């Protein structure tokens, strides 16, 4: 149940986990996740399409199909740079994003001040995401490091 809780699929009051699919790369970065209610099935064709899209290393649109050309080359998930500085943390989020909430909760619990950029309304934040080709949420910026996706391990490492 600890793993289900870590991935945000545990229904604690019922003692069960929702149906969750997570594609994790060799660097332990969650590249794709989908969570369904337990009465909804998952599509193996869609899972294979997403996996193949991730393997292209490029940006593939919602209607991309296996064998089609990608939209544009992908950007690296983590940008090397200087160490994190206190008060120099930003998190790009969307309302209702469970991973975004978990990262914000972690930062708050550890008294780490951060700026939240709501991608639903912030056009500069949207431009930031577009310019880098980021599609995974949240994007957490710590100093010169940009972490795309749910990477609490990397966030903890940079903040220690």
Same domain, 99 and 68: no
20: domain CATH number is 3.40.30.10
Verify cis geometry, omega within 30 degrees of 0, for the bond prior to 44.
no
Residue 90 has a pLDDT of 93
The size of the chain, in residues, is: 160
Give the pLDDT confidence score for residue 160 in this predicted structure: 76
| Residue 116: its H or E element | strand 115-118
User: Which among 19, 42, 73 is the end of a domain?
Assistant: 73
Residue 108 lies in a domain: yes
Question: Do residues 69 and 94 share a domain?
Answer: no
What is the per-residue pLDDT for 93? 94
Together in a domain, 153 and 93: yes
Does a structural domain hold residue 65? yes
Say whether both 56 and 94 belong to one domain: no
Answer yes or no: do 21 and 57 share one domain.
yes
Each residue's pLDDT expressed in tens, for the chain with a length of 160 residues: 888 888 888 898 998 998 888 888 777 777 788 888 888 888 889 889 988 888 887 777 788 889 888 876 544 443 333 344 445 899 999 988 889 999 998 888 888 889 999 999 999 999 888 888 888 899 999 888 889 999 888 888 888 7
Q: Tell me what pLDDT residue 73 has.
A: 55
Angle, helices 152-159 vs 98-109, to 10°: value is 20
How far apart CA 70 and CA 72 sit, in angstroms, is 6
Q: 76-79 long-range CB contacts below 8 Å, 24 or more apart?
A: 77/27, 77/29, 77/136, 77/146, 77/147, 77/148, 77/149, 77/151, 78/145, 78/146, 78/147, 78/148, 78/154, 79/144, 79/145, 79/146
Three-state SS for 147? strand
Residue 79 lies in a domain: no
Per the structure, the complete domain to which residue 105 belongs is given by 89-159
Per the structure, how many domains does the chain have?
Answer: 2
My answer on whether 12 and 48 are in the same domain is: yes
pLDDT at residue 83 in the model: 40
Helix (H/G/I), strand (E/B), else coil: 43 = coil
């Amino acid at each position: 149940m600890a793993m289900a809780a870590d991935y945000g699929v545990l229904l604690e009051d019922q003692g069960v986990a929702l149906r969750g699919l997570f594609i994790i790369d060799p660097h332990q970065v969650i590249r794709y996740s989908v969570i369904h209610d337990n009465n909804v099935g998952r599509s193996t064709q869609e899972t294979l399409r997403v996996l193949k899209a991730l393997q292209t290393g490029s940006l593939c649109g919602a209607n991309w199909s296996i064998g089609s050309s990608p939209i544009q080359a992908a950007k690296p998930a983590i940008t090397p740079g200087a160490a994190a500085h206190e008060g120099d943390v930003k998190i790009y989020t969307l309302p209702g994003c469970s991973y975004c909430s978990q990262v914000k909760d972690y930062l708050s619990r550890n008294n780490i001040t951060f700026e939240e950029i709501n991608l639903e309304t912030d056009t500069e934040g949207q431009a930031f995401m577009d310019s880098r080709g980021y599609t995974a949420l949240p994007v957490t910026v710590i100093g010169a490091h940009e972490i795309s996706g749910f990477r609490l391990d990397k966030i903890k490492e940079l903040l220690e």
